[in-house]
Structure 1
Amino acid sequence: MAHKQFNLTTDPWIKVLDKATNQEQTVSLIELFKNAQNYSQLSGEMRSQDLAILRFLLAILTTVYSRYDANDEAYDWLNINDDTMQADLDEEFEAGEINTYLHETWDHLYRSKHFTNIVTKYLQRYSDKFDMFGKQPFYQVTESQYNQLVPKKKQISGSRGPGKVTIKQINRLISESENTPNIFTPKSDEFKNELQLDELVRWLIFYENVSGVTDKTKIETADKFSASAGWLYRLNPVFADGDTLFQTLMLNLVLKTGEHASIVQQPVWEYSTIDAYVNDRKKQLPPTNIAALYTTWSRLLHIDWSEHGQPTIFSAALPIFDSDDVFIEPMTTWREDKKTGHYHPAVKTLRSLGMAMWRNFGEYVKVNSNGSDHEAGIVDWLRYLKDEDKSKDKIIRGSLITLASVALISDGNATSQAPAAEVYDDMRINADVLFDPDKDKALHWPSRIEDMIQLTQIVGSDYWHFAANVAVIRNIEIRPFANQLSAQFYQGLNKPFKDWLSHLTNQDDRDQKSNEWREFLHKYVIDVAGEVMQTSSSRDIGGFVDVNGIIDKNKGPVNIFTVTNRLRYQVQVHMSQY
């Protein structure tokens, strides 16, 4: 390849949207951190790719600002090596005192609306680790390192050897293996394995986060292990979305030490050698710091450029740590294993593809004021920022917070886990409502919101059974028809509920606002049932006598009118219970 220089710190590779012009730009790492306040958002090939890049950027910021304050001065409670800019913790300082300093740094940075020069200094110090063609190429290993870590029969030479992964497989818009063509792709066969260098960098970072499980090559270990999907691929991601890229980075910049997270950071590029990193991974222990978590490799990758300037990529699976109780991860919701009592990250699947974020409100937010629920870490972090904000011009209190979710969903095939869909959703809510301190369940906003969601789900179930009854009358397949109408029912509720949620304030009368939603929901379900009635045929009107009690236990006549009246009755009963 003619061009053998590409450094992520100075060469443009990150796609952003300019806030003033709304035009797309491609910038370097240093340029991005200097001007993050001037960009509205990341703008890569996929929203889920943007999330992987966001976490990569946060790894840098977490590393830097856990060592240096907003004045670019090292914290007193750290011993920092002037050459490496790496830190050791002084054990004399307590977690509470450290967190006070860290919050001051966060607060000063947020109010200044820009990052400081220490980020540039750090990137310049580690620029050799961000060079795609350096002695230790970025997010890659050399051929000799690769061969030392894989079994002898899996070793490579130049562009020859097993374990190849093609560009079109790393490009998650295509995700095509040599054996299974993907017909519906944005590129023709001729160009599927071609990428510009800046795009390759983006997909390289993304692939380490969302690789599937098709790899035939693994690193050599004493005990056998199964190739795992990338860590981000195994989450139901949630993050805070700001008005600018700077705000988004700051709202997700978790600067806090505690039970689950060490403040001493170690991103992958700070390991002394690749062997040291791989030996750590062989232990299969969860990372103890966010920078390590956000830069976790799922694959050992080597890129050979010897043939016609086009890359040949080799991939070897690395062991992954167990996902139980990895509460250091802030960007996921959690599910409890009732048998073991452990929590593991929730995973978005094709079955839950159409379920809007607000319907799982209680998975993201602590709705029980007694603290028994395990909420998403990023929500807990925002709660902490609100509680710690003692200034007159509040940053979090009183502001609208956008919680967003973007997930790349696999096909569910255990042997491939190829991407099948990408889904994005969000919900906006006033911070004072989200973090309502009222202990009275009747007045506690999150509890009230969850009640309204539960009522909506119950009414949604009533509507599904109505649709199922209509299917029986029409003598068509019940489940496909009822599921289709149910999906349309919830689709029509998404905007109204999100609007209702975003307009709530702590000054509102809880009963009045709850009644507003109840009244809207009641009218809505009757209206959509009426639309079904308008499509009635003579068969629907005539109906049949339900002698077997399929629909009506009284075994009487059943038609579109009787099942609609049944729906009205059930909705009325359930409305009275909330």
Structure 2
Amino acid sequence: MINMANRHFNLTTDPWIKVIETSTNREQTVSLITLFENAQHYRQLAGEMRSQDLAILRLLLAILTTVYSRLDAHDDRYLWLKADFEIDEETFDEEDSEDDLLATWQDLKQAGQFSVGVVQYLKAHAADFDFFGERPFYQVTTEDYDSFVPQNKRVAAGKGQVLVKQLNRQISESAHTPSIFAPKSGEAKNELPVDELVRWVITYQNFTGVTDKTKISTDEKFSNSAGWIYRINPVFAKGQSLFETLMLNLVLVNAWQEDAAYTCQKPVWEFASIRDYITQRKSQILPDNLAELYTGWSRILHIEWHETGVQIFSAGIPMYGYDNALIEPMTTWRLDKKTNAYRPAVKGLRSLGIAMWRNFGQYVKVREADDVHEPGIVVWLQLLKRRQLIAHDAPLMLNTVALISDGNATSQSPAAEVADDMQMQADVLFDTQKGDRWPTRIEEAITFTQTIGTDYYHFASDIGQIRNLDVRSFASGMSATFYEQLNVPFKTWLEGLQATDDREEKIKAWKNRLRDIVVASVTDVMQSSTPRDISGISTKKGPLNIFTAKNHLMYNVRTHLDLKKE
């Protein structure tokens, strides 16, 4: 693990972040300072999991948001801030501050790299990023840990431990349930180099399950919560380089909440002490700034270092609620009609195979009357486009990365990871044309596409019935395969749309492409037909065989797509 005689690892100067270098296409491991100095030369983050990359992306954004909410692109303090970066009420004006922040974003984009101020910030806060320091990064000391937990849970008692293989979300193995298909076996599951341990500690704080039962002592009882990102439906923008990705997601102005005012950023390491941070968390008040939200903990972790390995102690802390937590920009939302509150539209195992484009209306408000709260990151991108800070024909790629739990309320262990994306031109995504907006027409295309998907499911059900199979299981499998065949063509169609296109022609082109996909899929089924498929069976509605099933499907396709028979 590490040389115990010389324990040192500082995230600002020691390499721990995995990236892909653009020029060589090779993986590198870099420090925070190296990353921010060279973000324009890296294609993307390249950690062990996409969800790990998302957790680290939010940490990087917390640093950038903190710096550039205080300093402009020339590293000068905004005139409406005091020396301690608090608001100067005498000079502060909300509209002027918004203009200044957007000017900073524009200057950084034009420069093509981050300013020296980011490195200066990291050097000034180097002690806060020391993994073995007096205030170890994303950890607490023995003294602090013992002061927070009940006496029988203190470090000396040896209780409340989580194993390295539980932090590692590629394994997520508890002491009682072995992970059979893990990338490591035996004792190797609990061995990690320090740089990888750092990545998993950050990831674990964001994607914690609830297998651990130790909690800090509070006046009011609370249940251990899963990690914050674990309970949202993540969405973020992806650029051609890591610099572009960071810039597109660098939200300096809250444009999606009414009456949202400038707030001072306060990442977790800027709290005066860990005890101050835990005191605030006990109040369960939702953070009012992104840096604090992006660096929020779900557990206090204490690591005991030994020659033979590590002991990791974990205790839950109260989590703020998700209802109307609209400051979070990286999630889709759904309206809970019982409480009239917006909640993250969490992805579950049942929706595992549903591609991002099929939920287009969750990402973009199609109609003004819809009870849809667009993701903050989408509204931010719209603001950049409206202010002409990004080109009208710029390709905007929305990404999602979801780590999905097993659905077990007592564990919430990771069961699957899903990553997806969809890309459109800015003018298409944020079409302002009245009466015939692209988002409305795209949603229309998705609706009739899913109608055809339903038609195909009925066709698959007929085949399953003819073959005397479990109809629901067989039809679900065929339906999933059919949608997989649609994903790439539909995403390609989306990417090719332009604001100046004739809507009807483009919609017709997709209808024809969709029909061709149905025909090709049915042809495959016909070519693998059996004598039983051909002879068929008798039903209450009459004879049913593969030919009648096909004819019924194609009739529905022509009807629902309003296409002439060829």
User: Normalised by the size of structure 1, how large is the TM-score?
Assistant: 0.94
| Partners of 1:260 and 1:327 within 8 A in 2 | no
d(CA) in 2 for partners of 1:356, 1:44: 23
Q: Shift of the alpha carbon at 1:535?
A: 2.1
- Report the counterpart of residue 364 of structure 2 in structure 1: 365
| Partners of 1:62 and 1:253 within 8 A in 2 | yes
- Report the counterpart of residue 552 of structure 1 in structure 2: none
Which of 45, 50, 54 is residue 53 of structure 2 equivalent to?
Answer: 50
Structure 2, unpaired ranges of 5+: none
1:231 aligns with 2:234: no
Q: Shift of the alpha carbon at 1:439?
A: 2.1
d(CA) in 2 for partners of 1:147, 1:570: 67
d(CA) in 2 for partners of 1:170, 1:184: 16
| Partners of 1:466 and 1:564 within 8 A in 2 | yes
1:168 aligns with 2:165: yes
- Report the counterpart of residue 433 of structure 1 in structure 2: 428
Query: What does 1:174-253 correspond to in 2, within 5 Å?
Result: 174-253=171-250
d(CA) in 1 for partners of 2:530, 2:138: 63
- Report the counterpart of residue 34 of structure 1 in structure 2: 37
Which deviates the most, 524-533 or 102-111?
524-533
d(CA) in 1 for partners of 2:187, 2:137: 28
Instruction: Report how many aligned residue pairs link the two structures.
Output: 558
d(CA) in 2 for partners of 1:506, 1:287: 38
Q: Shift of the alpha carbon at 1:190?
A: 2.4
| Partners of 1:298 and 1:320 within 8 A in 2 | yes
Q: Shift of the alpha carbon at 1:502?
A: 0.2
Query: What does 1:249-398 correspond to in 2, within 5 Å?
Result: 249-257=246-254, 259-260=259-260, 262-305=262-305, 307-308=306-307, 310-369=309-368, 373-389=372-388, 395-398=390-393
Q: Shift of the alpha carbon at 1:556?
A: 2.0
Q: Shift of the alpha carbon at 1:200?
A: 0.7
d(CA) in 1 for partners of 2:361, 2:88: 37
Can you list the C-alpha shifts for 1:312-342, whole angstroms capped at 9, x where unaligned? Answer: 1100001111101111111111111111211
1:566 aligns with 2:552: yes
Structure 1, unpaired ranges of 5+: 548-554
Query: What does 1:30-109 correspond to in 2, within 5 Å?
Result: 30-81=33-84, 86-88=85-87, 90=89, 92-109=91-108
Which of 482, 486, 495 is residue 489 of structure 1 equivalent to?
Answer: 482
Aligned to 2:521, what secondary structure does the other structure show?
Answer: helix
Aligned to 1:224, what secondary structure does the other structure show?
Answer: coil
d(CA) in 2 for partners of 1:203, 1:372: 37
Q: Shift of the alpha carbon at 1:218?
A: 0.2
Q: Shift of the alpha carbon at 1:346?
A: 1.2
Q: Which residue type is aligned with residue 58 of structure 1?
A: L
- Report the counterpart of residue 6 of structure 2 in structure 1: 3
Cα distance, 1:401–1:142 mapped onto 2, change above 3 Å: same
Q: Shift of the alpha carbon at 1:536?
A: 2.0
Cα distance, 1:89–1:145 mapped onto 2, change above 3 Å: farther
Cα distance, 1:303–1:315 mapped onto 2, change above 3 Å: same
| Partners of 2:456 and 2:553 within 8 A in 1 | yes
Q: Which residue type is aligned with residue 238 of structure 1?
A: V
Cα distance, 1:465–1:183 mapped onto 2, change above 3 Å: same
- Report the counterpart of residue 459 of structure 2 in structure 1: 466
Q: Shift of the alpha carbon at 1:89?
A: 5.1
Q: Shift of the alpha carbon at 1:3?
A: 2.5
d(CA) in 1 for partners of 2:232, 2:91: 36
| Partners of 1:369 and 1:444 within 8 A in 2 | no
Instruction: Tell me which stretches of 4 or more aligned residues in structure 1 moved more than 6 Å.
Output: none
Q: Shift of the alpha carbon at 1:91?
A: 6.4
| Partners of 2:94 and 2:262 within 8 A in 1 | no
